[in-house]
Amino acid sequence: MPRPIPPFGTTDFTPYLREVSSIRADAVYAWFAGADAVHFVRQYQQYRRDKHLPLTGHSALTADTILPAIGDAALGIVTVGAYSAALKTTENEQFVEGYAGAHKTWPSRYSECGWDAAALIAEALDTLRGDLSDASRVRSELKDALPKIKPPRGPMQFDAYGQAITPIYITRTEKVAGRFVNTVIDRIPSVGQAATWGWWNTSN
């Protein structure tokens, strides 16, 4: 019987890693974040499961903010997500420079999402001239504002349900000039939840 999903705050993944060794698969996909991701990735490398089962996962697994804590154990891991601080675009390089100057560290995907939200609100407020009395107009202006901003992650749009359609990046963790980074190795443009899963579309 499969072992239950590790609870938040797990520090010893030994029982789960033992099960991994018996799996017939091409790779392992993991979704952990924060301290859980640090513990899991370091222990996965220590057990050397990566020799026959490469470790992959969601971008939270090797988030830019925790890469220094994971260290060399993160090298070579391929992840997928909507943002990497190593993304080489003019908008992102300016964002990273400004963020690093203010906070002495690279931004995370959470920081980039915060920038997107703030830029969207600021653009809509300018158009509305600060008048928020009409809720329907506020919603409309927020929607219309998205094509006018330049998110660090790249162009975005809303679908009919207000869900973001965003680029998705495939990254590999590398060490560049002494810094651990999530280098972009491929890009999937315009990924939306409705088109991907369908359950957003109530007409199906």
Residue 33 exposed, middle or buried by CB count within 10 Å (0-12, 13-18, 19+): middle
Give the domain extent around 133. 90-158
Query: Same structural domain for residues 62 and 23?
Result: yes
- Tens place of pLDDT for every residue, the chain, 204 residues? 456 688 999 999 988 888 877 778 888 999 999 999 999 999 999 886 556 789 999 999 999 999 999 999 999 999 999 999 999 999 999 999 999 999 999 999 999 999 999 999 999 999 999 999 999 999 999 999 999 999 999 999 998 888 889 999 999 999 999 999 999 999 999 998 877 777 655 555
Query: Same structural domain for residues 151 and 167?
Result: no
Q: Does the CA dihedral 90-92-97-101 come out positive or negative?
A: positive
In a domain, 9, yes or no: no
Distance CA 92, CA 23 (A): 39
Query: Same structural domain for residues 120 and 175?
Result: no
CA distances from 173 to 96, 116, 136 (A): 18, 25, 44
The count of domains in the chain is 2
